[in-house]
Amino acid sequence: MSRFHFAGRTFEVNYGDLVATNAYAADKNNLTYEITGGSLKGATAKVAFEWKELDGGNFVISWQEADGSTVVHIDNFEKGSSLTFFTTPGSGFYRLSGSLRELADQE
């Protein structure tokens, strides 16, 4: 798989009841996420992800977490929009839509 177009950059997704940052590694298809708002605030992990570019500037990004949860994003970085579909270990299924914005480099 080729290098992700947004490697080395960090983005915030805001779905209202859930806010998170996704920091995409510069050198491989890993991301570190941190839930920064909502009932899951404080959860963080580093995961391997897969991605594919779709038409219209959309990217589908997916991963599976250590607890078996699955996450799929359809993100449009140019338009600043994000859709996510995720399952939980307890078989809950969620669909959220919200905004996406790049965070300034914090180094």
**pLDDT attached to residue 107:** 46
pLDDT of 94 above 90: yes
Residue 92 tokens, joined: 């809950």
> 10-102: CATH homologous superfamily?
Calycin beta-barrel core domain (2.40.128.20)
Task: Parse the chain into domains and list their residue ranges.
Answer: 10-102
Q: Tell me: the pLDDT tens digits for 5-61?
A: 999 999 999 999 999 999 999 988 999 999 999 998 999 999 999 999 999 999 999
**pLDDT attached to residue 106:** 53
pLDDT of 74 above 50: yes
Distance CA 36, CA 30 (A): 19
